[in-house]
Structure 1
């Protein structure tokens, strides 16, 4: 039976790398909101970011169910760092009689900072299409209250590589 896997964690912890590996192992389709948003809206959304993210997630949720209904596994590779996004996603899928499988990518603070520095250097050089991680974004991911509880997560993956 197919499943929907939702990968969550802070920015720059290796969620997409993990999701791409999981995609091959699970023979799944991977859906990523950042990729869609950058493709259709560009990099700098400013105060429209949350609105566009919500619209993108709504689209991804519908597509995930459509793909799932054909018997194919789906990986939703998003941040879901904020508790309200995790709750919303879980509720949406449960309303469609699907219990999503949650995977959390965890990382040490030291390695996280190194990943951010590496990513920003690559963005500045033009060798990465990722978002540049500025102070606003860092602040958004610094709220410890949003870290998932172990009871919310099915797979807790510890990333220990740069």
Structure 2
């Protein structure tokens, strides 16, 4: 049976790098909210971001259902920053009988700062289409992130270097 892998972690924690690692281990379809929103609209103004993200997540969930039904594993590179969002997704997956595993990319604040600096340099050089993370965005994201407890997560991944 195909499995849905849901990756939880704060901004710039290495979720996409981890997703690619999973894909190297077993073929899977990677579905990233950031990839789609950036491709569709570029950097979204704050007033449009939440509504667009919600629509993208609905579309990606529908696509995931199709891939899973066809026997292909799927990886959600979404972040799942808040406990309420994780609980709602968990309830949906259980209700629908979807085989799934929650992964948490757990990084120290020191490692996160290094990864943000590296990412920002790549954004400025045009090497990636990821979001540029200034101090204000970083602090906002950290304040919104609710780390999962042990009961929510099947696999905890702690990168040593991204």
Q: TM-score, normalised by structure 1?
A: 0.92
Moved over 3 A (4+): none
Instruction: Give the distance between the partners of 2:160 and 2:108, measured in 1 at CA.
Output: 8
Matches for 1:1-162 after TM superposition, within 5 Å: 1-143=1-143, 146-162=146-162
Aligned pairs, number: 162
How well do the aligned residues superpose, as a CA RMSD in angstroms? 1.6
**Contact 1:13 / 1:107 at 8 angstroms: preserved in 2?**
yes
Q: Which runs of 5+ in 1 are unaligned?
A: none
**Contact 1:16 / 1:77 at 8 angstroms: preserved in 2?**
yes
1:44 CA drift (Å): 2.6
The secondary structure found in structure 1 opposite 2:66 is helix
1:99 CA drift (Å): 4.1
Q: Which runs of 5+ in 2 are unaligned?
A: none
Q: TM-score, normalised by structure 2?
A: 0.92
The secondary structure found in structure 2 opposite 1:143 is helix
